[in-house]
Structure 1
Amino acid sequence: MTLVIEKQFFVGHPSGKLFAKRWLPTDVDNTDLAPILLFHDSLGCVDLWRDFPQTIARATGRVVIAYDRLGFGKSDSFSGLLASDFVFSEASVGFASVCQHFNIKKVVCFGHSVGGGMAVACAAAYPEICNGVITESAQAFVEDRTLEGIRTAKEGFRDINQLQRLSKYHGDKAKWVLNAWTETWLSENFRNFSLNEVLPKVKCPVLAIHGDLDEYGSVLHPQIISERCSAPSTMKIIANSGHVPHREKQAEVINTVVSFLAG
């Protein structure tokens, strides 16, 4: 079995420090392979990827890097409100900072949920270094199904135990993390969010993964992502899976990613 070494870092950012981890397979020659950079979801962080980064590093033989966006996980706090363009601005702040720190010259962007939109935005903004995009449960626009799922989740967080579980990963930033998700997506300023303008700027191969039972978005999202990018694309619908296929159907997701990258 391939040995994977895990190491943590703190990355300089214009507004603070970002926490990051790297998973390095040691008994394969990965020097010519673009690393996989993971973008977490709206309530996520590095630790909430659980064993997925190590597993995908071992399966692909590639270096895997994940980071906590500002305000999340072990990164520095962010006290302000998220701007309505936060999905797109991540390309010029968090992504750029991580690429500079790790001297990334080529990369595969893999994003879950809102992180999928960020992966698309980064590929559009940096076509010269992005070798591939993988979206999982990404939202291409603000769908009524998405908003209904967020309203249901927001109601569930009235249970103090749920917020305490979130605090396990985000510490005293947990309330901000929750509000940054629910209040941003439910606001009128965000209703016009769409990936339509950036998708045609994506010039690298794209894999759009989506669970058929995703409570935060229909299969319209991967269809739009795969149809509107300017590159070969593959859409993979995971049967009997909700919003987190990499946890619910990990083996199928891993096999799909391995096949995509091999191609």
Structure 2
Amino acid sequence: MREFPPNRPGEILLAEGRLETGWWGKGPEAAPTVVLLHEGLGSLGLWRDFPARLAAATGWGVLAYSRFGYGGSDPVALPRPLDYLRREATAVLPRVLDAAGLRRGILFGHSDGASIAAIHAGACPDPRLQGLVLVAPHVFTEPMGLAGVAATRDRYAAGDLRARLARHHRDVDVAFHGWAGAWLDPRFPAAFDLLPEVRRIRLPVLAIQGEADEYGTPEQLHAIARETAGPVERLLLPGIGHAPQAEAPEAVLAALRTFLARLGAGGSDAAADPV
């Protein structure tokens, strides 16, 4: 049976409070780092076994953390400001990278996390970063995506989704309503246009989306490819929904390994066989 690197739980303390963290594989002194940025309802724990598989497949270290208001990290006040993703990308993420001791690596963002990664790369150029992986990214709102958020809100009110998410969040209502309340605010579409930041991205980008994503169309990938100043590789996965790293991990890991090879950004030792 394949063995994967164990999670080394930890924490990062910022002025706002405590963030829970996990680290898999080598530390930043020994190998580059993949920094995982979770989705709008995600957390450290909801990455499940993907960080361990990622570390095994690449030979890189992997850092994941729960943002404020998610998982076991300290809560936030509601309602979230409509520019909460920009604040996360420009005011919080740089300090997380510093506190983690990042030397070189990439950002791997899923959904809201992909938006944060794109904003950060466009607004806060960091010479330690070699590339971006944007999974199910959002750089502007779409009617079908907002309808998907509204449908998820209805599922949460019915109770089944709330009960499942409550296992992964210290305050599940803060986590959920912070996300849904912002996205469903009628002022959000105007506040959320990320194309100005996308146009300033100079890093190589790997953009991945499922064709059956209920929150976004392939136009998200096409807009990134059109607008980004750096090179962009696109991977559209047939039959896959909003979480390609969970639904098609082998395809995502294979694309990532190829992307890293093109960057010339291998780990300190030869990576393990593809997972």
TM-score norm. by structure 2 comes to 0.89
Corresponding residue number in structure 2 for 1:227: 226
Corresponding residue number in structure 2 for 1:252: 251
Q: Is the 8 A contact 1:10 1:20 kept in 2?
A: yes
Give the CA deviation at 1:85. Answer: 1.4
Q: 1:95 aligns with which of 82, 93, 96?
A: 93
**CA distance in structure 1 between the partners assigned to 2:259 and 2:178 by the alignment:** 33
Deviations 1:195-243 (A, max 9, x none): 2110122111000000001000000001111221111110110111000
Matches within 5 A, 1:184-199: 184-192=182-190, 193-199=192-198
**CA distance in structure 1 between the partners assigned to 2:225 and 2:15 by the alignment:** 33
Corresponding residue number in structure 2 for 1:85: 83
Give the CA deviation at 1:162. Answer: 2.0
Corresponding residue number in structure 2 for 1:4: 5
Q: Which has the higher contact order (CA 8 A, sep 6+)?
A: 2
Q: Which amino acid in the other structure matches residue 8 of structure 1?
A: P
**CA distance in structure 2 between the partners assigned to 1:52 and 1:139 by the alignment:** 21
Corresponding residue number in structure 1 for 2:149: 150
Q: Is the 8 A contact 1:117 1:139 kept in 2?
A: yes
Q: Which amino acid in the other structure matches residue 152 of structure 2?
A: A
Give the CA deviation at 1:161. Answer: 3.0
Deviations 1:158-178 (A, max 9, x none): 22232121110003x101111
Q: 2:65 aligned with 1:67, yes or no?
A: yes
**CA distance in structure 2 between the partners assigned to 1:151 and 1:5 by the alignment:** 37
Q: Which amino acid in the other structure matches residue 261 of structure 1?
A: L
Identity across the alignment (%) = 27
Query: Which stretch of the first structure deviates more once superposed, 212-221 or 226-235?
Result: 226-235
Query: Which stretch of the first structure deviates more once superposed, 6-15 or 65-74?
Result: 6-15
**CA distance in structure 2 between the partners assigned to 1:132 and 1:190 by the alignment:** 28
Give 5+ residue unaligned stretches, structure 2.
Answer: 263-275
Q: Is the 8 A contact 1:22 1:64 kept in 2?
A: yes
**CA distance in structure 2 between the partners assigned to 1:139 and 1:67 by the alignment:** 20
TM-score norm. by structure 1 comes to 0.93
Query: Which stretch of the first structure deviates more once superposed, 180-189 or 203-212?
Result: 180-189
**CA distance in structure 2 between the partners assigned to 1:25 and 1:239 by the alignment:** 33
**CA distance in structure 1 between the partners assigned to 2:21 and 2:78 by the alignment:** 22
**CA distance in structure 2 between the partners assigned to 1:243 and 1:95 by the alignment:** 23
Give the CA deviation at 1:156. Answer: 1.0
Matches within 5 A, 1:160-179: 160-171=159-170, 173-179=171-177
Corresponding residue number in structure 1 for 2:38: 40
Q: Is the 8 A contact 1:111 1:135 kept in 2?
A: yes
**What RMSD, in angstroms, separates the aligned Cα atoms of the two structures?**
1.7
Q: Is the 8 A contact 1:108 1:130 kept in 2?
A: yes
Deviations 1:48-77 (A, max 9, x none): 000000001110100000110001001011
Could you say if the C-alpha distance between residues 253 and 139 of structure 1 is closer, same or farther in structure 2, counting changes exceeding 3 Å?
same
Give the CA deviation at 1:17. Answer: 0.7
Q: Which amino acid in the other structure matches residue 108 of structure 1?
A: I
Q: Which amino acid in the other structure matches residue 19 of structure 2?
A: L
**CA distance in structure 2 between the partners assigned to 1:183 and 1:94 by the alignment:** 21
Q: Is the 8 A contact 2:37 2:64 kept in 1?
A: yes
Q: Is the 8 A contact 2:4 2:52 kept in 1?
A: no
Give 5+ residue unaligned stretches, structure 1.
Answer: none
Secondary structure of 1:215's partner?
A: coil
Secondary structure of 2:182's partner?
A: helix
Could you say if the C-alpha distance between residues 32 and 11 of structure 1 is closer, same or farther in structure 2, counting changes exceeding 3 Å?
closer
Give the CA deviation at 1:2. Answer: 6.8
Q: Is the 8 A contact 1:11 1:97 kept in 2?
A: no
